[in-house]
Structure 1
């Protein structure tokens, strides 16, 4: 149930009312100014935010710190600060409970390119198959990047494949690391959720989170530096599950004995993180610099799964007399290291680098069971190992030159990238088919990868590019880029981009861009396979396989080789800057994507089981899925950003309003293969559930209004967000396709920081202060009272969060 909605005017009045009492001599504003030079989206060395030919957001370290990121989650900070980014909290979503995915402009998480210091970041090794947002993708793990390492972030909201390479369909997120030889900081914070949980009629305090970070720099020679940092994070679980009403098909006497309990889990799992990072430069004579940087993340997480009732095929009462709820355990190790040399060679600037990134993920289960093994089954399993690594070699050359009254920046370069993806089988007990053949085989809540599921794939990618950024006088500027990229397994592809900006009147300008972009299927989408025993959308246990498109069973069901995704992006924008106080940008965009890659619908039923057993001698497959080029889509949207800066009560005031809208529609949808239709005319390869994933599972609109004020003692911030509506659709079979639209929700965040001295500061704050929740799910979706909230809404289902922070700088 929604609570009263705060309004922006009341927020601004409340802030203005307290400012005079806190007045003191003004300090420099910490927020990004429009005069800051950007490095993302252009090769020109003097472009600023409003002068860019494509929309670019710049977030400083202070912006990120004041986003209330006391839990060290970079993804959460990006969602709080940028309406165009969606970073929902998943639960009961398989691997997405451990690695959360972010969207830009409502597109898939793997359609945005992430850079660190301008160098390509590797993706996660884990395929999100149980999630809604990011289903079927291997996203970049934003939360593996230490927030204390960040100097600023530049987000390019436009296609940039010709400039930076494949995957930059929706845009680019470029994380710039902290540098410098002097100073450092120590920070400690603690917070928790304190909330009224309507479905159970109780007030809960949970999700206790502690975060410690430290960083320091030192000089190396006359012009060099080394900066290092460390973070420790610990988050305890939250739970918003309701009271169990027990599904009708499970209502035996033993199962009804657990009715009315909170048997399920809905919320965050426990999480423990260790992050480390470094950034360094060393002068090599007068014209060259050796540089290096790297990040390390070790994260142990827990995820939620459906409860297994005391009396049922999935349980042995001798082991779990009261039933059990399996807990997934993720062991995630993420490493990224870059080393290079940059300098000047005659008239040219050069940058040569080597870049290596690797993600290893081990998936485990505890409090589980392989029912087919009987009462002697283990209760802990290792269900699989996943690894992805990429190694890149880059050479970039650039120079500037004049031609008449125009100045041009030319950049050319080449890149070689090697990728490797590998999966390893789980414990034999996690996939064994035991002597009790009337019971489901494999560990409950995710059967282990079998030896036949293992994947080991490699590919090489080579590319060359050229970019010219030009300024013709004071009013007109352009960026022209072209790239040729050749994949070992998908051939070559040209991409290009033309962007321009024209200042048609003092303080007013138009900008626009057209680009083509390219994304090859991830190695995981080509080769990943898994065998599982779990609950389907209707809440019934099924044994299923996710098949690679090369698997003979998938081929017999109509799977074909995957094609790359290709897009054409169009944008048109207006920017204005009036004096030093007011600036505004409005950008319209359209993104046409052909051959969007998605998971097929789950193919279930006796026809599938009988066909697979008869033709491949594989018994008991009740569900099958594989990747397909599902549809062509068109995304249209608009983004607005406005800022007002002024002096107020002896300090500086910054008011910001931002709004984002993105609507995705299906154009051409893949036809159900004849092989599949021949098994059962009701089978479809791409239907309502996966269409919902691509089109309206994420909010089409998000908006934000923030007010910040600083002087030499106080920093005050209030942020009001509006998360638009989202839609959930299920296919329970037999034509039963329940759906629900979850209405828009408001979220109020605030923080007050006081600088005790030049070095010490303390802060208190909160997120979702009015304790907002999404709409309660209806009876068709809430799974018999157990899962009262859906995971779609960005407001989450954890309620209000309160925190305190202490910071020491030196």
Structure 2
């Protein structure tokens, strides 16, 4: 922590810690300060369990929590990172598709190893494969920022494996987003903010990233006891840039290139973003014991992403087009739709829920300020490089019945998935007459007709679960599920969880489960052709191949196998009176056959082999998906709350801490055909091993103090983001690395209720203007990229905002 941050941070922490000493001893604890008594609907079929009574760790967040934590850009993902002990949502830059769709982690695992539900129904994933990022590399995650923040009533986060309860992908846990179901009233909310920060690498104070947010929602009754709720969000974010002054790489130092030395030629930070969200949620009673329900979200986002600068004098440029060089800008057009309709009610002694769920994501990738150098000076400078689409349709029938202290549930699910990619503009991948120049649009060659994928599969599953209470001290949850994939066959998963209250206010809980995750359709069939810069800064033409591609097979690729995991956890919970509660959970997650991208295999031996055996010249880099390793993740999570009265208001102190360490227990061997080309080739080497084990912070901690009365709500939050490690392989045994140290972040907000309907707030995030460590000379790419994207604190600096809210 820098000296300038230590004083405010220390003052905030000391003030919050000292607050209970001034509490009024005789005053009752605030009834609405925590979510501990809320009846949960995630992780159990029992109908009266609360957070601390759960057999596994569950966090509950309400709309006010999310509003105060997600002020920056109105992002759900950013709000969850601020509030959850083991949720990681780093900001990406110069990371390909990850500049447009950010991936999240739970417990340090991959983004596709957490299952997201909306109103208890499975949410679809994005269609864009994240290949240029560090966090989430090789995955198609759920796009959290496509879910409107103002649509949410509360969120329940189950931090435990739950495949037997909810199906595949629930390895790290389940995030269940419950939508606003108010039958009357509504609200308007608007905010504006910007980053104001001292940027050390360039010695300047900048104000940028201006962000405006407008949202509204309204509800009304529907029929006899039903409701209809709808809302919208508009968001606009300007770009930020923390790039340094360009020193120009030694191999590019021609007179024309040195003429642009000392400029900020690169871009490091957030790109521009424009979002429009809309949503609905409703119920309509049917007869005396049934109801129709429906909900859906619609999201449109246009974003810009950063790419490496191309120098004036280089094979990627024609000076006639870009006399001072160029930096391509990627453009993402993201359309996301989800809709669910169903009928639920009572059928004799049974409760039933019959639903149909459809989700779709369509993404169009474009480039501007680019060029296909092989086409010569007449090349277009704007390209559509590809279209991506993922669709998911589910039909569910769930039945449940209470037998005394036991709740039995059973059901079936049919799921259909489809993944499709379409080629870009012919100019984006064409090989023109200038054969000494790289082919394809710079910063991402277009998908070719050979790259196109069109895959689908059906999945069927049946499950049963039993939630029981044996007296007042012992509760259990047992679940079993059989899931059959059209392409991977069947798998049986199960879970046993129990909680035992061994003394008043003290309990032990534990769980054991096995889980299953089939490779996604994109991991099976996605292919792409690219022209860009390697980690060492060299321009290369490369291909990401599916495991079914003949070239990949000749290099040793094999059919992907499903990931199989075993989760074990043991926890302790305590609630002393109405003021203090504590939970501590330790866990271990062993995963076999984790799916990941291979290293980028480069070199003359590869190029010559592909040209000689397959007649495809000029391919300098190849990668493909592989069952890369077996891993073991061990960790612990602590959540503690203290609630009391302070003056005329209610005080809530919350502390969280999480630790997760992933180790490789087995690594796939380099295939013999690949080793035969060059003994130095490694299929899964230091860079991709680092992606699984060291790129995400192992620890995160947070301490917050919230005080409120009839007029004021005051919030201070201190976060500690743990260290993260970056490793590169530049070839020839040159493998630079750097550990980025832990960083502290201070957020604060003051909200005033001006009248019964109006509230105003001012606040800041990272108000002490902290940054990650500066990258060393091996990694900062000649001064251009002084900060890495690994640290959750980001590289945007302090953000200040104001918000106004009107309720009716």
TM-score (normalizing by structure 2): 0.98
Which secondary structure does the structure 1 equivalent of 2:78 belong to?
helix
Paired residues of 1:26 and 1:652 also in contact (CA < 8 A): no
Residue of structure 1 aligned with 2:431, choices 415, 433, 437: 433
Which of 264, 277, 280 pairs up with 1:278? 280
Instruction: Report 1:70-219 matches (<5 A).
Output: 70-219=72-221
Equivalent position of 1:11 in the other structure: 12
CA distance in 2, matches of 1:363, 1:8: 42
Give the whole-Å Cα distance in 1 for the aligned partners of 2:429 and 2:410: 51
Q: 2-side partners of 1:305 and 1:19: how far apart?
A: 51
Distance change >3 Å, CA 6–CA 467, structure 1 → 2? farther
- SS of 1:308's equivalent in the other structure is coil
CA 1:712–1:19 in 2, change beyond 3 Å: closer, same or farther? farther
Answer whether contact 2:260 2:324 (CA < 8 A) is retained: yes
Q: How does 1:272-671 map to 2 (within 5 A)?
A: 272-402=274-404, 407-671=405-669
Question: How far apart are residue 448 of structure 1 and its match?
Answer: 0.1
2:764 to 741, 766, 775: 766
Counterpart CA distance in 1 for 2:713 and 2:21 is 13
In 2, are the aligned partners of 1:446 and 1:532 still within 8 Å (CA)? yes
1:131-156 CA-partner distances (Å, limit 9, x unpaired):
00000000000000000000000000
Alpha-carbon displacement from aligned partner over 1:419-468 (angstroms, at most 9, x marks no partner): 00000000000000000000000000000000000000000000000000
Which whole-Å CA distance do the structure 2 matches of 1:388 and 1:677 have between them?
36
Report if the CA contact (8 A) 1:70-1:190 is conserved. no
For the residue of structure 2 that corresponds to 1:376, the secondary structure is: coil
| CA distance, structure 1, for counterparts of residue 21 and residue 623 of structure 2 | 62
2:29–2:643 Cα contact (<8 Å) kept = no
Q: For residues 448 and 32 of structure 2, what CA distance do their matches in structure 1 show?
A: 54
Change in Cα spacing, 1:708 to 1:230, as seen in structure 2 (3 Å) is same
1:40 to 1:618, Cα distance in 2 relative to 1, 3 A: same
Alpha-carbon distance, 1:71 to partner: 1.3
In the alignment, what sits opposite 1:692? 690
Does the 8 A contact of 1:68 with 1:766 survive in 2? no
Mapping 1:31-46, distance limit 5 Å:
31-46=33-48
Equivalent residue of 2:377, what SS? helix
Distance in 2 separating the partners of 1:219 and 1:622 = 63
Contact 1:27–1:710 (8 Å) recurs in 2? no
The SS at the match of 1:615 is: helix
Tell me how many residue pairs correspond in the alignment: 805
Query: 2-side partners of 1:734 and 1:140: how far apart?
Result: 38
Within 2, Cα distance between the matches of 1:692 and 1:649? 50
Match of 2:671 in 1: 673
| TM-fit CA distance, 1:221 | 1.3
Secondary structure in 1 aligned to 2:69?
A: coil
Between the aligned partners of 2:688 and 2:16, the Cα distance in structure 1 is 44
- Which residue among 793, 796, 802 is the counterpart of 1:795? 793
Do residues 2 (structure 1) and 2 (structure 2) align?
Answer: yes
Contact 2:33 2:643 in 1 (8 A): no
Structure 1 counterpart of 2:748:
750
1:597 and 1:628 in contact (8 A); partners too? yes
Q: Can you give the 5+ residue segments of structure 1 that lack an aligned partner in the other structure?
A: none
CA RMSD of aligned residues (A): 1.6
- Verify the 8 A CA contact 2:9 2:746 in the aligned structure 1: no
Superposition deviation, residue 5 in structure 1 = 3.0
SS at match of 1:460: strand
How far apart are the structure 1 equivalents of 2:33 and 2:547? 49
Q: Distance in 2 between matches of 1:13 and 1:607?
A: 62
Distance 1:797 1:572 in 2: 37
Deviations along 1:197-234, one digit per CA (max 9) or x if unpaired, are: 00000000000000000000011112111000000000
SS of residue in 2 equivalent to 1:375: coil
Structure 1 residues 282 and 624 mapped into 2: Cα distance closer, same or farther (>3 Å)?
A: same
For 2:554 and 2:184, how far apart are their aligned partners in 1? Answer: 64
Secondary structure at 2:6 match in 1: coil
Contact 1:20 1:649 in 2 (8 A): no
- Asked if structure 2 preserves the Cα contact closer than 8 Å seen for 1:29 and 1:710, the reply is no
Aligned to 1:226: 228
1:27 Cα deviation from its structure 2 partner: 12
Cα deviation code 1:61-118 (max 9, x no counterpart): 0110111424111000000001200000000000000000000000000000000000
Change (3 A) 1:541 1:560: same
2: distance between equivalents of 1:617 and 1:248?
Answer: 34
Residues 325 and 367, structure 1, Cα contact 8 Å, conserved in 2:
yes
Distance (whole Å) between structure 2 residues aligned to residue 20 and residue 157 of structure 1: 33
CA distance in 2, matches of 1:684, 1:380: 37
SS at 2:437 equivalent: coil
> Counterparts of 1:480 and 1:150 in 2: how far apart (Å)?
29
Distance 1:12 1:603, change over 3 A: closer
Cross-structure match for 1:237: 239
SS state at 2:94 partner: coil
Please state how far the C-alpha of 1:19 moved relative to its aligned partner: 12
Output the CA distance in 1 between the equivalents of 2:406 and 2:357: 29
Whole-angstrom distance in 1 between the partners of 2:30 and 2:332? 44
Q: Is the 8 A contact 2:101 2:143 kept in 1?
A: yes
User: What is the CA–CA distance in structure 1 between the aligned matches of 2:745 and 2:90, rounded to whole Å?
Assistant: 14
Q: Decide whether the 8 Å contact of 1:453 with 1:530 is kept in 2.
A: yes
Asked if the contact 1:243–1:262 (Cα under 8 Å) also holds between the matched residues in 2, the reply is: yes
Shift of 1:28: 6.6
Q: Deviations over 1:169-199 (max 9, x none)?
A: 0000000000021111100000000000000
Deviation at 1:807, TM superposition (A): 0.1
Secondary structure of 2:396's counterpart equals strand
